[in-house]
Amino acid sequence: MVNTKVTLSGLRLDNPVIPASGTFGFGYEFAELYDINILGSFSFKGTTAAPRFGNPTPRIAECTGGMINSVGLQNPGIDAVIAHELPKLKACFHKPVIANISGFSLEEYVHCCEKIDREEQVGLIEVNVSCPNVHNGGMAFGTCPESAAEVTRAVKAVTKKPVYIKLSPNVTDIAEIARACEEAGADGISLINTLLGMRIDLKTRKPVIANKMGGFSGSAIFPVALRMVYQVYEAVRIPIIGMGGVSAAEDVVEMMLAGATAVQIGAANLINPYASKEIIEQLPRVMERMGIKNLEEIIGGAH
């Protein structure tokens, strides 16, 4: 009998598998397909202070080994999430959920985090300073240590729940930014968000995405994500949630060997809505094949 349980900043998870923000809605959409309580947890749709329609269409493009998206943080806004989405979620998911918060200013991050921190269903807050699909916000806060640290300090001042900072891979030194977040009080790090990519339509000779560029995700980015998780594990002492191209139980084990305590599944959910469920079901068999009895014992095992 293998043990798949892991602990994130005091939050005990039945397994380390967590659908990533933006790929799992608010959960109840997937609850129509299977019992989502099988999940360790999940990170709900990135939420801002005001409702957002998102970027103009087309905003999705397929590519080899993945996809490019420029959805642009479409969401109903923090008040609607608290009033409508969380009650609907509570009816079908009986574990603590991860709240993904985005912003366009320091004040917006603080406002949203302070509000969501009061919600009983929220076990952990994931602060997204890494969205490449919006202007004057998102990734702008996550590309230099000082800005990332400033957001971290401000959010930690108004929250009691664990705060994980979600970092961008579109930087020169990911470890430096992770260290700055840790020093500013972050409880953990989530990485990576999408890489910046684009496609050009050969018929029109123009970019496929209306926003020209978007976030590149999917199995093709797994080696980059793994490398960055490995680097950050050596740079900080706080837990890491690893993500980026994870599409199989073996990838979960590899991410954990690199240093992740838990692992998020992103684009794979959009290809196969049962992806997270199947990975959870495969994980004990993969552990048995590899001689792993307790998942927590392999965290950082490749170092």
Percent of the chain's residues with pLDDT above 90: 93
Confidence of residue 13 (pLDDT cuts 50, 70, 90): very high
Q: Is residue 56 part of a domain?
A: yes
Token pair belonging to 219: 């199995």
Q: Is residue 257 part of a domain?
A: yes
What is the domain count for the chain?
1
Residue 79 has pLDDT above 90, yes or no: yes
Query: What residues are annotated to the active site?
Result: 131
Q: Is residue 13 part of a domain?
A: yes
Strands (E) across the chain are located at: 6-8, 11-13, 17-19, 60-63, 66-69, 97-101, 122-128, 163-166, 188-191, 195-197, 200-201, 206-207, 214-217, 240-243, 262-265
Provide the β-strand partners of residue 233. none
What lies within 8 Å, CB to CB, of 192 at 6+ separation is 130, 167, 168, 169, 174, 221, 224, 225, 228, 229, 243, 244
Confidence of residue 146 (pLDDT cuts 50, 70, 90): very high
Q: Is residue 1 part of a domain?
A: no
What mean pLDDT comes out for the span 40-67?
95
Q: What is the CATH number of the domain that holds 76?
A: 3.20.20.70
Is 261 in contact with 299 (CB distance < 8 Å)?
yes
* SS3 state of residue 56: coil
Q: Is residue 303 part of a domain?
A: no
Q: What is the pLDDT of residue 143?
A: 80
Residue 191 has pLDDT above 60, yes or no: yes
Q: Is residue 41 part of a domain?
A: yes
In this structure, are strands 200-201 and 206-207 parallel, antiparallel, or unpaired? antiparallel
**Structure confidence by residue, pLDDT tens digits, 246-264:** 999 999 999 999 999 999 9
**Structure confidence by residue, pLDDT tens digits, 149-166:** 999 999 999 999 999 999
Cα distances from 273 to residues 4, 29, 171, in angstroms, run 22, 10, 31
Confidence of residue 29 (pLDDT cuts 50, 70, 90): very high
Provide the β-strand partners of residue 242. 191, 263
**Structure confidence by residue, pLDDT tens digits, 119-140:** 999 999 999 997 655 555 555 6
**Structure confidence by residue, pLDDT tens digits, 201-235:** 999 999 999 999 999 999 999 999 999 999 999 99
- Containing structural domain, residue 44: 6-298
Distance CA 300, CA 260 (A): 7
In this structure, are strands 240-243 and 262-265 parallel, antiparallel, or unpaired? parallel
Q: Is residue 25 part of a domain?
A: yes
Q: Is residue 273 part of a domain?
A: yes
